[in-house]
Amino acid sequence: MSAPLAGLLVIDLSRHLPGPFAARMLANLGARVIKVEEPELGDPVRSAPPFSGGRSLLAEALLSGLESIALDLKQAGGLEVVESLLDHADVLLETFRPGTLERFGLSPPQLREKFPRLVICSLSGWGSSGPAAGRAGHDLSYQAAAGTLAATGRTPNLPAADLLGAWSAVAAINAALFARAHSGAGARIDASLFDAAVVGNVTNVAAARSVESELPAPGPLTGALPCYRIYRTADGRLFAVAALEEKFWRQFCAAAERPDLLALQYDRDPDAHRQVGELMLARTSAEWAKLFGRHDIPGEPVARPEHALEGDQATARGLAGGARGGIPFPALLDGERPAMTGDMPRLGAHTRELLAQFCPEKLKGPRRQRVAAGIGPRFSLKRSLVGWVGTLKR
């Protein structure tokens, strides 16, 4: 059960973060993922900081366990290979702007006619319809338009639109595969990072509808309440107090020997925040953690990302493998966590063996002829310099 998608073949044309994250989750569930990359530089994530030993740590996390084939989709030879791959595939995942597949001669209607069992997932920033469909964007712009930033007015520490969009794509792909098992027909999925951010903003929408103001005040889960926010402690660290329910706030006030704070739980006045903040400054983060644990009050020290992977809970749950660069699947299936297998492939590392498996006729000509036709990695001074600069950044 730890590899429920074993036997499924995913052709991944995606780039950057959302698509590769979705592809990695499908691979963790057992699918075979063939990543199609541009021959000269590959997925831009390969050049994304931070670096270690000339390798992108983000790329290592996203691309490990996948197979890489280098194809130029602007050349007929590259497109022919993609079609040969799709002839055996269950899922096509792509993150181009709407209309790009059509320019390649691979429009979704054409693909559905030629490959009726194929699940086609187009994951784009704004979706394939609406006035913004063709616009450029990044996570910050999708979150801004979706309203997720209004409550705090701060640049978020997590690319929520990218990650929620990736998960919505994974969910839709699995739903389409389930439906195909009954109908025999594939599907066209139009997934959007903007859509996912709007839907995921449910708590802030509810909070905004409860008050009448030009700009929404911080919501109950975004720092508006003294009982649910982050405070600094005596040792300069940060501690997250999450005593949202009345019983937990009572336990907190009793444990801290501050019954006078009982009435401040939901008080939005800055003075209420100040009083609780002064209390939190009276003890170290470790002392608060001990007290919260002893009295079963929701609250934890704010951990650094790398420390979170090394903690007792992460170790017990089998998440610690993420410290080595992989991305573990965030759920157990029948008591097992899907395995993270394989290292990050070099750009085009599997080109020859995939050609041999899916279209052996493409191997008959000399290598320079194949490269000219858009098949196989090309030497790139820019790629070499990126790796060299990455080494210097270690």
In order along the chain (394 residues), what is the average pLDDT of each group of 10 residues?
Answer: 88 96 95 96 92 90 94 93 96 95 90 96 94 90 88 84 96 97 96 94 78 59 90 95 95 97 95 97 96 94 83 81 66 81 89 93 78 73 48 38
pLDDT at 188: 95
Residue with tokens 């995939």: 354
Dihedral angle computed from the Cα positions of residues 310, 311, 312 and 316, in that order, rounded to the nearest 10 degrees: -50
Distance in angstroms (rounded) separating the CA atoms of residues 369 and 123: 33
Identify the CA nearest to 19 among candidates 88, 122, 104.
122
User: 184: alpha, beta or left, given left = phi > 0 and alpha = psi -120 to 50?
Assistant: left
SS3 for the chain, per residue? Answer: CCCCCCCCEEEECCCCCHHHHHHHHHHHCCCEEEEEECCCCCCHHHHCCCEECCEEHHHHHHHCCCEEEEECCCCHHHHHHHHHHHCCCCEEEECCCCCHHHHCCCCHHHHHHHCCCCEEEEEECCCCCCCCCCCCCCHHHHHHHHCCCCCCCCCCCCCHHHHHHHHHHHHHHHHHHHHHHHHCCCEEEEEEHHHHHHHHCHHHHHHHHCCCCCCCCCCCCCCCCCCEEEEECCCCCEEEEECCCHHHHHHHHHHCCCHHHHHHCCCCCHHHHHHHHHHHCCCCHHHHHHHHHHCCCCEEECCCHHHHCCCHHHHHCCCHHHHHCCCCCCCCECCECCCCCCCCCCCCCCHHHHHHHHCHHHHCCCHHHHHHCCECCCCCHHHHHHHHHHHHCC
Q: Residue ranges of the domains in the chain?
A: 9-200+329-392, 228-323
Is-catalytic flag, 162? Answer: yes
Beta-bridged to residue 336, according to DSSP, are 333
Torsion 163-169-173-178 (CA) sign: positive
Q: And the tokens for 1? A: 């059960």
Distance in angstroms (rounded) separating the CA atoms of residues 329 and 316: 15
Torsion 141-328-384-355 (CA) sign: negative
pLDDT at 388: 42
pLDDT at 142: 94
Distance in angstroms (rounded) separating the CA atoms of residues 392 and 394: 6
pLDDT at 370: 76
Phi and psi at 383, nearest 5°, equal -65, -40
pLDDT at 194: 95
Identify the CA nearest to 345 among candidates 21, 65, 72, 9.
65
CATH 3.40.50.10540 matches 9-200+329-392: yes
CATH superfamily of 228-323: formyl-coa transferase, domain 3 (3.30.1540.10)
Catalytic residue among 12, 43, 72, 162: 162
Q: Are 247 and 268 in contact (CB under 8 A)?
A: no
pLDDT at 394: 34
